[in-house]
Amino acid sequence: MPELPEVETVRRALALELGELRVLAVGGRSTALRRPLVVERLAAVLPGRRFAAARRRGKFLLLDLEPPGTLLCHLGMSGRLTLDAVSAPLLPHTHLVLRLEDGRELRFVDPRRFGLLDWLEPGAEAADPSLARLGPEPLDPAIGRWLPPRLKARRAPLKALLLDQHLVAGVGNIYAAEALWRAGVRPDREGRRTALPRLERLALEVRSVLEEAVAEGGTTIRDYAAPSGNFGSFAVRLEVYGRQGEPCRRCGAELRADVLGGRTTAWCPHCQR
């Protein structure tokens, strides 16, 4: 599933490419995504509007348009937003097509249909069920101050806490595993049983690994690609994610893999205590 760095990469690309382009027409087919995608509703509100800004909240994209309104998007497990010439053939599982005034189309492709596309009227964002309870952003420079007490107050394993979008928005399986390895903390250690200085280091490593991944355009494991079609290059810098059974690059011990909260977590039994 695309995490914060991948979504931020898409956001930056769309902000650059869409500018103030106007939507001319809407095509596609209504289908059941994370929420029902009702193409007819989007076709009634989008044509004639211009893109004004591309924002990100956690793993969600928010495309603001004028007259005011916002297209809310989540890429789910396999979703992609592509910018293609009108003449380019549609990929399978293309659910929405926005015809733009520059002769291109913004297309939403989602084979596994865990994504989301919805229209938010002005003022609806604050009450939207997907956005209203999201925690603070982990790229916040003050994360070392506010995240450790949140982790310390809970008895769940740290890996599960980092994935809790109500505590901190945007961190997923890949970068939680990498931050825990960098901080030298076991993923199954309870938050309440971890000393605050260790939690402070973990918080800083969360921000650091996310910033580095953003700079590399994210991580491509299977489906993720930016709207240009480029793949994220951070995969070559992964230290533990997907490397169970291989030697730790810091100490040489064999990396283990445990399942926490339904997610496989690779970690080093020697380096992470």
Catalytic residues: 2-3, 59, 263
- 239 burial class (0-12, 13-18, 19+ CB within 10 angstroms)? middle
Which among 242, 253, 201, 196 is positioned nearest to 220, based on CA atoms?
A: 242
Residue 105 identity (one-letter amino acid): E
Whether 264 and 174 have beta carbons less than 8 Å apart is answered as no
Q: Is 9 helix (H, G, I), strand (E, B) or coil?
A: helix
Residue 140 identity (one-letter amino acid): D
Which among 222, 213, 260, 264 is positioned nearest to 243, based on CA atoms?
A: 264
Task: Kindly state the tokens that stand for 252.
Answer: 């040489």
